[in-house]
Each structure stands twice: as C-alpha cells, then as structure tokens.
Structure 1
Amino acid sequence: MSRFIRSAAIITFSASALASLPAMAADALHYNQISLRAEASQEVARDKMIVTLYTESQNADPAKLAAEITTTLNQALGQAREVKGVTLRQGSRNSYPIYDSKNQKITGWRERAELRLESADFPALSKLTGELLNTLKMDSMDFAIADTTRKASEDALLKDAVAAFKARAQLATDALGGKGYKIVNLNFNTNGYPMPYARSGGMMMKAAMADSAPTPEVEAGTSQVTMSADGVIEVLQ
C-alpha cells in the first residue's frame, strides 16, 4: 500500500521560528514520500538429495554394543567413500538403558547411530542408499536447494526485484505528476527456500530387499522462491 504525505505551512519569521528551523528541516525529509513494495519470484529446483540412515541394536554388555555399532558404521562409511560426489556426515549417536518390567533394574543397553549422505547426483546416491540398506535402516530421504543454486537464484531475483521496484516507483511518480523520484531507502527479503523436504523411504527399502535391486527413480520437485523489495521514494515536483 502506498502512502503519500504532503505538508505545507505559512512561516512567520521571528526569533522563535528561527529557533525551530532544525526541527522543520527534519520534517522536510518526509516531504512527498511514498512507501512501495515490489516482488519477484521464480521456481527453483531442489537439487540436493539428503538421506539419513541409521543402525540400532541392543546388548546386555554396553562395550560390546558400542563395538557392534562402530563396526557397522565404519563399514558403511568405507562403502560410501567409494562413491564420488557424495558428502558424508555422521549424525547423532545415542545410548540408553533398558529396564526390567518393574523399571527398577537395568537389563541391557540400546544404541542408535546415524549416517547422513548428501549429493546432487540423485542416481548415484539412490544406488548407494539401496546398497547400504543391507546393513542399515532408513530414517528419511529429504530434498533441498544447494547453496550454489540458492546464491545464483538470489542474485537473479535481486535484479528482478530492483527492476520491479523501479517500475512501480515510476508509475507512482507519473500518477502524482512528479518530475522524477529518488530512493530514500530500500530493503530486500527472501522467502520460499525450503527446509529439507522429507519423502518416505519405503520405496527404496522395498527395492533394496529385492534380489536384484533397481535404482529407484526420485523426483525432488521445485520451490517457488520470492524476493520482496520494500522501500521509500521521494517524489520530486
């Protein structure tokens, strides 16, 4: 919504009036000012695939349990490192006691450890995930916008948002009969970049259990990203 403020006053030059000139000068900064908003948007592909796998087990001996979990994780890490373009991150690892039916005595321990895989190469990561599901379980499959893609889209949207703001500023200036305008301030805000978009891992889990597991097809989709330009212009008369 635009706001047009214009003020006029008859000034009587006196000692008291001269004393108030600094305040009047400050008020003049808001003369013929209009608040405007313009937006630019585009569809951006979710081009990063994120898979979280985990191993979980229990044992009465916590040391043996930890060794078992570590061995399983190390094997998975070694296998994943052989695939180019896949980034590996170890997620959370937690261990907690198991109590008897009366909840008084510890009868064993349960431990869970996660492995996070990220890649822009969907087929390669899908194939690797299917292979790792022979020893690990899937927690989630997510899709996000890669950092490089996000920066490129922000740069393009910034130019579009500035152009849209200038067009709207000129339209408002013409409507008010101004000779031109100057930008007082301009701020940009971006929204629409998603948190990782979770997909069910059921399809891939079933594929991995088959005798000859095919590489599952995945479709990450897109997100509509918007950049808004909010600012104030001063119409010149």
Structure 2
Amino acid sequence: MHTFRRSAALLALSVSAVASLPALAADELHYNQIALRAEVSQEVARDLMIVTLYTEEQNSDPAKLAADVSTTMNKALAQAKQVKDITLRQGSRNSYPIYDTKGQKITGWRERAELRLESSDFAALSKLTGELLTDLKMGGMDFAIATPTRKASEDALLKDAVTAFKARAQLATDALGGKGYKIVNLNLNSNGYPQPYMRGPMMMKAASMDSAPVTPEVEAGTSQVSMTADGAIEVLMP
C-alpha cells in the first residue's frame, strides 16, 4: 500500500514537471518581444452631399391631410427624378393628433413626410434643392465621405500604416542592439469615418425663407481619417 502511494506521488511529480515545459517555452517565446503602435492619417474630402427636405401640414380631416401630403411629395419626387446622378430616398412619414387646450379632444391632425436626396454632384443637387424649397422645407444638409472614396483612402492608409509600423520596429531593434526582428502579430484598424457634417441651421433657414428659389451655398470641407497598426515584434539578439 505504501509502495503504491510512493509511486503515485512520483507519477504526479513527473506530470507536473512535463506540464511546466509549455510554460517555459512560452516564456522564452516572449522574452524579447516588444509591443508597438503606429498611426497615420490624411485629410479626405467630403464628396457626398445629403439633403433632407420635408413637408408638414395639418387638417381636421385625416384623409384629406394624407392626400395633400402625398400630392406634395409625389410632385417633389417626380421633379427630382428628372435630375441625373441623384439618389432618392423617402424618409419617415408620421401623423399625430392635435388636441384642444385641455388636452382631451382631438381638433385636428398634423402629418410630416421627408425626402432624402444624395449626390456627388454638388452643383446639380444644390440647384434642385433650391427649386424644391418652393414647396418643401429644409430639414438638413449634410456632407459625408462616399463609399468609393472611403475604400480608396483605407487602402492607401493601410499601406502607410504598415510602413510606419516597420519603421518603428526597426528603430526599436536598433535601440536594443538587435540584429533583426520578426513580426509576432499585427492588427490594422481604421479609426472610423466621421459622421456627416451638418450645415448650420441659420444658413438653411435663410435659404428656405427666401421668396425666390435659392441655390444653397455648399461648403463640404474635409475630414481627417486615420488608421492604426498595433502589434508586437520579437527582437533577434546577436
């Protein structure tokens, strides 16, 4: 019985020693590793114009109200479809009751419908917007980075980020007196593209209140986008 216990203890000790070998190997693997980070950025033009227009009316007859709103929106859609390279999207459409001063009796209904226009042709969309403001109101004018432009800038930034990471890796290797390095892991991440830039409400109000069709001013500007390269290298010592 004692012999069995001693054998079991020796077996447990042997298993423990074998189990520690991977831990030692892992320690050796990480012995000369350094975590590094590089970031690159560039200014990218906002080349997509987004305009939101809306109509809002009220009437005591909900059916008449819906018909009036539909007529106004259908007219705007038909006019917008005549302009090339403009994407049309119908936005939200909501109807809600209007109550008396006591908040108990419904005295009428109000309905609002939106039309969203997108285009990279700023001049064409600005002209159309001015024309549609005779029947619709301005809800907002935004500027964003178009998908093709975003993809192109990401590709360029990815190459620049890798180059910057390798330059930093070589700098760290030289500082430590190493003869070279190996990249252990590398993660490339875009820091996200900014939300559309919204135009100031006072400028939009001035354009919509003018008696004659007005072509709104366009100031799209640029956005700074960036990409980071996070990773680790193993420095090879002489």
1:160 aligns with 2:176: no
Q: Offset of 1:76 from its aligned partner?
A: 0.3
Residue equivalent to 1:149? 149
> Aligned letter for 1:35?
A
Q: Contact 1:131–1:208 at 8 Å: present in 2 too? A: no
Distance (whole Å) between structure 1 residues aligned to residue 178 and residue 210 of structure 2:
73
Residue equivalent to 1:58? 58
> Aligned letter for 1:184?
V
The Cα offsets for residues 189-217 of structure 1, whole Å up to 9 and x where unpaired, read as 22252111100365466456657645343
Residue equivalent to 1:236? 236
> Aligned letter for 1:22?
P
Q: 1:106 to 1:124 in 2, by over 3 A?
A: same
Residue equivalent to 1:118? 118
Local SS of the residue matching 2:90: strand
Q: Contact 1:138–1:201 at 8 Å: present in 2 too? A: no
The Cα offsets for residues 37-90 of structure 1, whole Å up to 9 and x where unpaired, read as 001110000000000000000011111111111110010000000000110001
Distance (whole Å) between structure 1 residues aligned to residue 134 and residue 175 of structure 2:
69
How many matched pairs? 224
Q: Contact 1:50–1:142 at 8 Å: present in 2 too? A: yes
Residue equivalent to 1:9? none
Q: Contact 1:59–1:109 at 8 Å: present in 2 too? A: yes
Local SS of the residue matching 2:220: coil
Identical-residue share of aligned pairs (%): 78
Calculate the aligned-residue CA RMSD, in Å: 1.9
> Aligned letter for 1:99?
Y
Distance (whole Å) between structure 2 residues aligned to residue 185 and residue 178 of structure 1:
19
Residue equivalent to 1:176? 176
Distance (whole Å) between structure 2 residues aligned to residue 174 and residue 73 of structure 1:
67
Distance (whole Å) between structure 2 residues aligned to residue 123 and residue 19 of structure 1:
71
Distance (whole Å) between structure 2 residues aligned to residue 213 and residue 61 of structure 1:
31
> Aligned letter for 2:114?
E
The two structures have a TM-score, normalised by structure 1, of: 0.89
Local SS of the residue matching 1:182: strand
The two structures have a TM-score, normalised by structure 2, of: 0.88
Local SS of the residue matching 2:31: coil
Indicate the structure with greater helix content: 2
Q: Offset of 1:29 from its aligned partner?
A: 2.1
Q: Which runs of 5+ in 2 are unaligned?
A: 1-12
Describe how 1:21-36 pairs up with structure 2 within 5 A.
21-36=21-36
Distance (whole Å) between structure 2 residues aligned to residue 66 and residue 17 of structure 1:
81
Q: 1:205 to 1:85 in 2, by over 3 A?
A: farther
Q: 1:106 to 1:175 in 2, by over 3 A?
A: same
Q: 1:210 to 1:20 in 2, by over 3 A?
A: closer
Q: Contact 1:192–1:224 at 8 Å: present in 2 too? A: no
Distance (whole Å) between structure 2 residues aligned to residue 52 and residue 143 of structure 1:
11
Residue equivalent to 1:99? 99
Q: Which runs of 5+ in 1 are unaligned?
A: 1-13
Which stretch of structure 1 is more off in the superposition, 147-156 or 16-25? 16-25
Residue equivalent to 1:193? 193
Which stretch of structure 1 is more off in the superposition, 186-195 or 71-80? 186-195
Larger radius of gyration: 2
The Cα offsets for residues 151-209 of structure 1, whole Å up to 9 and x where unpaired, read as 00000000000000000000101111111111111112222521111003654664566
